[in-house]
Every structure is written in structure tokens, then in C-alpha cells.
């Protein structure tokens, strides 16, 4: 029948049916894929990355660029490697690309935060990196705490008084500051290879980083002049820079020792004065 011949009531009923059908067609169900970063309940989940895989930081790398290249979240990269803002990393540093079983980072073997530690309950995990720690069953070193032994004979990198000490967890005090005068010799604290010589890290001024082995780095900041190039081998006590005040307000050397990329207190390793 031609709709024009329908009664007003029939035309009204037809319109209602049509609206109901259109509304039904407009409804859709969104199904979230739990593997895409959320659980079936809609709660966020963290990725596991590539457990056991690591990457060595190259000049110009940032935590953000490394995370992006490896398709993982920056927050996950920071968590796996025990890094806190501002996520300072160094050339030559080895970073984990995933979390291994037991909540440890693949790069350092240190335990991540647990509910037990947050409530004050003691929790220890054997380190998988230093052979001496693994063989003795000692607790894994905390960031900032001294591992059992570095196996390195450290020397003071400069003459002068310590004017600022290391404070664990403080992003602005990850090493010590040694006061001195412009042009004063800055020396390598141990044998190694220069893996960075430049001024690309904000807050460090003219910076030199020496890699001593796969676990240990030392950093020398605020220099007036750098005397060594990347790839150059240096000996303990060899002058590598002249003290200055680049990136700071007075002539001094900022000196750090890092174990698997994490700062430790240099005063626990340097000879007692």
C-alpha cells in the first residue's frame, strides 16, 4: 500500500518503529583487548617487555628515545631499571628492556619495591650480578648502598675538601662535590675507557664519563676543559680535565660512581683521607 494512503495513526506507528530500528543499529559494543595494556576489567596493566634483554646507552640517547625504539612505556623502563626522575642515563650504561622473574631488573639484579618493604617488613633477594654477592648469598645492594666489593682500586679524582656529600634518593646529590680552583687537575679515579666527553647532559657542564667494566662507571662534571676524547683509554691518576665551574656557580668537581647505572656513595669507595 502507498504510505500516502495510510491513516495518521498508521503513519505515526510506522515512524515509531523506524526510530526504534535506527536506535538499535546505532548501538555498538566495545571489547577491550587485555593484551593492549588494559585488563578485562578495564584496569591498566604494566608490560613485561623483553625479560632478560638489555640495551647499552649510546651518546644522545634518552630514556624516552630508548623506550620508544623498543615499543615499551617510559614508566616501565624506569621501573625495571630503578630510575627516578629526571631519568638521567649515561653512555655506556646497560639498561634492562624487561623485568625478570622475582621482581628484579635484568640489568642490575636488584629487587623492585614490594608491599613488604612498604610496610617495613624485611625482604632480601640474592643479587645475580656480582659473583661475590651471589656466592655469599648476601642481600642485593640497594641503589646508593655499597655492594660487597667493586674490585677496583679507586683514587681521589682531585685534591680539595668535600663540600657536598652524596644523599641517597636525592636527584641533585648523586655524588660528591670537591672544591678547588680553576684549572686544577682532574684525574681518572681508576683505569678505564672514556665513553662520554661533552656537555650534553643538563646540569653537569663539561662532563667526562669513564667506564671501568660492565658494572662500574665514574663521572666528572663542571670541568673548565676536557683533555680526553671518547674511546680513549685512561689510567688511574691520569689527568683527564681541568677543574672549572661550567653548569654551576663555583670552581669544583662533581664526582659520581655508578654501579649498573645507579649512583652509590663515592666516599664508601675512595681511600680515607
Q: What is the pLDDT of residues 69-108, one digit of tens each?
A: 998 888 888 888 888 777 888 888 888 898 755 544 444 4
Cα distance between residue 179 and residue 240, in whole Å: 17
Q: C-alpha distances in angstroms, 112 versus 17, 37, 75, 102, 123?
A: 60, 21, 13, 9, 11
Which residues are CB-neighbours of 93 under 8 A, at least 6 positions away?
56, 57, 217, 258, 261
For the chain, give the mean pLDDT. Answer: 75
State which residues of the chain have pLDDT below 70.
Answer: 1-47, 100-148
Q: Can you list the domains of the chain with their CATH numbers?
A: 49-136 (3.10.350.10), 162-268 (2.70.70.10)
| Cell numbers for 80 | 625495571
- CA 154, CA 193: separation in Å to the nearest integer? 15
Q: Which residues of 53-82 are buried (b: 16+ CB within 10 A; e: fewer)?
A: eebebeeebebeebbeeeebebebbbbbbb
Residue in 169, 188, 200 with CA at minimum distance from that of residue 262: 169
Q: What's this model's pTM, rounded to 2 decimal places?
A: 0.61
Cis status of the peptide bond prior to 35, with omega within 30 of 0: no
Residue 206, classified by CB atoms within 10 Å of its CB into exposed (0-12), middle (13-18) or buried (19+), is: buried
Amino acid at each position: 500500500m502507498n504510505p500516502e494512503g495510510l491513516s495518521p495513526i498508521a503513519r505515526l506507528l510506522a515512524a515509531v518503529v523506524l526510530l526504534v530500528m535506527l536506535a538499535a543499529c546505532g548501538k555498538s559494543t566495545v571489547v577491550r583487548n587485555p593484551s593492549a595494556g588494559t585488563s578485562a576489567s578495564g584496569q591498566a596493566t604494566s608490560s613485561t617487555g623483553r625479560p632478560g634483554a638489555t640495551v647499552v646507552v649510546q651518546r644522545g640517547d634518552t630514556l624516552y628515545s630508548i623506550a620508544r625504539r623498543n615499543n615499551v612505556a617510559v614508566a616501565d623502563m624506569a621501573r625495571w631499571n630503578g630510575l627516578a626522575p629526571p631519568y638521567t642515563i649515561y653512555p655506556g650504561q646497560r639498561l634492562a628492556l624487561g623485568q625478570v622473574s622475582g621482581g628484579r631488573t635484568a640489568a642490575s639484579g636488584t629487587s623492585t619495591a614490594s608491599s613488604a618493604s612498604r610496610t617495613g617488613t624485611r625482604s632480601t633477594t640474592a643479587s645475580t650480578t656480582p659473583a661475590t654477592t651471589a656466592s655469599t648469598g648476601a642481600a642485593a645492594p640497594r641503589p646508593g648502598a655499597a655492594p660487597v666489593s667493586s674490585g677496583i682500586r679507586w683514587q681521589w679524582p682531585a685534591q680539595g675538601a668535600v663540600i657536598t656529600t652524596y644523599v641517597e634518593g636525592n636527584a641533585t646529590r648523586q655524588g660528591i662535590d670537591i672544591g678547588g680552583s680553576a684549572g686544577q687537575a682532574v684525574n681518572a679515579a681508576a683505569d678505564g675507557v672514556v665513553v662520554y666527553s661533552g656537555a650534553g647532559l643538563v646540569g653537569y657542564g663539561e662532563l667526562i664519563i669513564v667506564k671501568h667494566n660492565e658494572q662500574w662507571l665514574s663521572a666528572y662534571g663542571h670541568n673548565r676543559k676536557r683533555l680526553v676524547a671518547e674511546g680513549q683509554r685512561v689510567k688511574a691518576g691520569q689527568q683527564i680535565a681541568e677543574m672549572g665551574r661550567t653548569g654551576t656557580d663555583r670552581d669544583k668537581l662533581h664526582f659520581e660512581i655508578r654501579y649498573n647505572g645507579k649512583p652509590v656513595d663515592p666516599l664508601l669507595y675512595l681511600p680515607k683521607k
